[in-house]
Structure 1
Amino acid sequence: MDYIPNILFAILLVTGIAFFTKNVKKLIRNIKLGKSVDTSDHTSQRWKNMIAIALGQSKMVVRPIAGFLHIIVYVGFIIINIEVLEIILDGLLGTHRLFAFLGGFYSFLIGSFEILALLVIVAVFLFWVRRNIIKLKRFLNPEMAGWPKKDGNLILYIEFVLMVLFLTMNAADYQLQQMDVAHYTKAGAFPVSQFIAPLFQDMSVSSIIILERAAWWLHIVGILLFLNYLYYSKHLHILLAFPNTYFGKVRPKGQFDNLDSVTKEVKLMMDPSADPFAAPDENAPLPEKFGASDVMDLKWTQLLNAYTCTECGRCTSECPANITGKKLSPRKIMMDTRDRLEEVGKNMDANKGVFVPDGKQLLGDYITNEELWACTTCNACVEACPISIDPLSIIMDMRQYLVMEQSAAPSDLNNMMGNIENNGAPWPFNQMDRNNWSKES
């Protein structure tokens, strides 16, 4: 009978990890729907970017208030995982504070955890105030209505409850240690929870044990639930920020990709030995689709971007098109891409891993032409993103599709391209008339 709690804990742990693994496999499958891209270049620079941006939070602190609060939660999340490791081992082995043999170092760890837990509670509260009391403008954009807003608040509530449970568990444990209760040997320093413990002085030993065990179980169950909630939340960036910053763009931000098929045509046009009347090679592969109209046309790194998006809105708040009232929101571009990718994934789940055309696509059903053409390609969104997401690349790929597959560019742009083709310049003047302005009196 003494092993029943350990068995139940093992079942709970295995179930939670299995469900998480299933979602991770689904996530990887969805990302791999994108086109392949060579990411083997600039290896040292990629490692530097990951260490500085994901681990070092270098771009978060550009906005110091949000950056400082985020670092508190981030450091708390990483360090308190050490405490989670002890809880898991205690649950499996039936021990209590397994790492207590570390002595003074263990006291330092527990004390650090408690201080961080308190700081996380404060930071989470301030984040909640910013969203719901101060109501910062970037959290009120149309794309943030409904689930995104609920998700942002729900994650704050979860983090708050987890930290309160942790401190409650420690406070009850500390009180039991002071009462010399068997199995609760004195171990650890409790700089925060020792001030909570007096609330339990008038309770019986059995009641305090029940409280400590309840907080312990709820804390670890909450962590497993949180782990599996990540897939459905914008907080998936906790896991994906590191690979996303590693695979992020390392070339100059203004440099765009050339299409091999177009480059080949241009070279052929400039080859004086080429026969302009030669019949096309029947064995040559058909040219690939120009640009992107759906998620499968995007690169896998762009799909990784979509899943990594934190919905923080820094990109949209920096976007000059959005600031001047245009419909474009770089954050919405990423959210729409993720939503469409999830829709495609569910379609595959329902059809034994095969995508069955559903008559929908990213372009038109999620993202409109008006949004795409509002972009000034200034790269402000790319520069603002704290984890190296590139909304501009998706916008440009979809624009390319509109121009080269549908000839659906705005009239001004079509006129300019026609002038370049006919006159060698964007202006509607024949080359012979180009200097006429100088003859006007």
Structure 2
Amino acid sequence: MGFVANIVFAAILIFGIGYFVKNIKTLMRNIKLGQDVDVSDNPVQRWNNMARIALGQGKMVRRPVAGLLHIVVYVGFIIINIEVLEIIIDGLFGTHRIFSFLGGFYGFLIGTFEVLAFLVFVSVIVFWIRRNVIKLQRFWKAEMKGWPKNDGNIILYFEMVLMLLFLIMNATDVHFQHMNSGNIISQFIAPWFENMGETTLHVIERAAWWLHIVGILVFLNYLYFSKHLHILLAFPNTYYGSLKPKGEFNNLEAVTKEVQMMMDPDADPYAMPENDDEEAPAKFGASDVQDLNWVQLLNAYTCTECGRCTSECPANQTGKKLSPRKIMMDTRDRLEEVGKNIDANNGEFKDDGKQLLNDYISKEELWACTSCNACVEACPVSINPLSIILDIRRYLVMEESAAPVELNTMMTNIENNGAPWPYNQMDRLNWKDEA
């Protein structure tokens, strides 16, 4: 019977990890649909950012309550799952608590895991209350209805159940309880089962053991479909985050060269480019996800949907339709749609008559943005919604001439008068005579 259980365990493990790898490959394929961008500069600073922001949770604690609770859940969940290594070895080889030979140190480890499991359980309950009882405003915006709202709660339920199963597994393990070492929390749960026979306790312990490891594998594979994908992607996302000053605009090389040529009195405006590298891009700006660069697509998958960006957005605060969080969620949803299109058409994208612009993100949202970078500064994992907004606005202006009337007027004045005001160049200094 034990041999059969080992085979079943191995099959579940192989399937769970295999499906996870398949999802990761799909994820990487989708991200690579974006345009290439050079992010090889200053690796030391990039490693520092990853260590400080992703590993050290440097930006999370700017909101102390949520930040500290998140650190407890993050650190606790990661450390507790070190015991998964023991479960895997026991499951494959039919052993039981194979690391118990470590004696006191083993007790210290499990005791630490139990304390962390309890803290994670409490923190997750507080998170649930903040979402569903207190109803913090940033969790109840328009884009957080339906699946996004349910997804947030499903993750919390997952974590509560996994922590509870871990503690029940320890509380009903008679051998472990007799060790009197490491059962710091489970000793208070063990009395719940004190009137049960040893056989019954063994059945409950085995059930909790199986449900715990299967639950972890299900949780692992659920990540791809959830906002909690940031558990994995926060690290590369913070590494590849922009190192440029937040107010620096990303100029197109082709446009820069054209302006330089216009300012050069000796340049021939009709001259052909010397090589193909100097030709203008096929499209200015972005209208769909394939026009964005791969770092922006990585940003979309990394979004935690925490809403800090939207709560800091001055446009959103004044009732405008813009929500930076929705920009990232829309980008991810469209990217997923494109990926499924490719899968359904043998690796080739077939035009579906849709695009990110208009079908997902409206012009009203785009032009509500003040380009203040508040959303970029607020994001705890270095996501840049503004870069996507600016690229789509660039498309509207340069490809469709669809800028708002006020902006078109200003650009016409700059072209004709060398300034945004509607004054002839010869009259631009007349104001001084009126002073």
Q: TM-score, normalised by structure 2?
A: 0.97
Task: Check whether the contact 1:100–1:188 (CA below 8 A) recurs between aligned residues.
Answer: no
- The residue identity in structure 2 corresponding to 1:300 is W
Q: Which runs of 5+ in 2 are unaligned?
A: none
Structure 2 residue aligned with 1:160: 160
Task: Check whether the contact 1:100–1:187 (CA below 8 A) recurs between aligned residues.
Answer: no
Residues 144 and 178 of structure 1: is their aligned pair in 2 closer, same or farther, counting only changes over 3 Å? closer
Structure 1 residue 280, shift from structure 2 partner? 7.3
Structure 1 residue 176, shift from structure 2 partner? 4.5
CA deviations 1:313-338 (Å, max 9, x no partner) are 00000000000000000000000000
Q: Match of 1:116, SS?
A: helix
Structure 1 residue 288, shift from structure 2 partner? 2.8
- The worse-fitting range, judged by mean Cα deviation, of 276-285 and 163-172 is 276-285
Q: Which runs of 4+ in 1 moved over 4 A?
A: 176-179, 277-286
Matches of residues 126-165 of structure 1 in structure 2 within 5 Å?
A: 126-165=126-165
Q: Distance in 2 between matches of 1:65 and 1:196?
A: 28
- The residue identity in structure 1 corresponding to 2:28 is I
Task: Check whether the contact 1:103–1:187 (CA below 8 A) recurs between aligned residues.
Answer: no
Q: Distance in 1 between matches of 2:90 and 2:19?
A: 22
CA deviations 1:63-96 (Å, max 9, x no partner) are 0000010000001111012111111111011111
Structure 2 residue aligned with 1:10: 10
1:203 is aligned to 2:196: yes
CA deviations 1:365-387 (Å, max 9, x no partner) are 00011100100111000000000
CA deviations 1:191-243 (Å, max 9, x no partner) are 00011112222111111000000000000000000000000000000000000
Task: Check whether the contact 1:176–1:205 (CA below 8 A) recurs between aligned residues.
Answer: no
Residues 95 and 405 of structure 1: is their aligned pair in 2 closer, same or farther, counting only changes over 3 Å? same
- The worse-fitting range, judged by mean Cα deviation, of 280-289 and 72-81 is 280-289
Structure 1 residue aligned with 2:33: 33
- The residue identity in structure 1 corresponding to 2:268 is D
Q: Match of 1:196, SS?
A: helix
Task: Check whether the contact 1:305–1:334 (CA below 8 A) recurs between aligned residues.
Answer: yes
Give the alignment partner of residue 390 of structure 2, picking from 387, 392, 396: 396
Structure 1 residue 279, shift from structure 2 partner? 6.5
- The worse-fitting range, judged by mean Cα deviation, of 114-123 and 262-271 is 262-271
Task: Check whether the contact 2:170–2:205 (CA below 8 A) recurs between aligned residues.
Answer: yes
Q: Distance in 1 between matches of 2:271 and 2:95?
A: 81
1:113 is aligned to 2:107: no
Q: TM-score, normalised by structure 1?
A: 0.96
Q: Distance in 1 between matches of 2:385 and 2:330?
A: 11
Identity %, equivalent residues: 71
Q: Distance in 2 between matches of 1:144 and 1:429?
A: 47
Structure 1 residue aligned with 2:327: 333
Q: Distance in 2 between matches of 1:375 and 1:75?
A: 36
Task: Check whether the contact 2:177–2:187 (CA below 8 A) recurs between aligned residues.
Answer: no
1:348 is aligned to 2:318: no
Q: Distance in 2 between matches of 1:39 and 1:187?
A: 53
Q: Distance in 2 between matches of 1:352 and 1:398?
A: 29
Q: Distance in 2 between matches of 1:216 and 1:225?
A: 14
Q: Distance in 1 between matches of 2:428 and 2:38?
A: 44
Task: Check whether the contact 2:322–2:369 (CA below 8 A) recurs between aligned residues.
Answer: yes
Q: Which runs of 5+ in 1 are unaligned?
A: 180-185
Structure 1 residue 49, shift from structure 2 partner? 0.3
Task: Check whether the contact 2:334–2:360 (CA below 8 A) recurs between aligned residues.
Answer: yes
CA deviations 1:4-50 (Å, max 9, x no partner) are 11110000000000000000000000000000111110100000000
Structure 1 residue aligned with 2:218: 225
Q: For this pair of structures, how many residues does the alignment match?
A: 434
Residues 398 and 196 of structure 1: is their aligned pair in 2 closer, same or farther, counting only changes over 3 Å? same
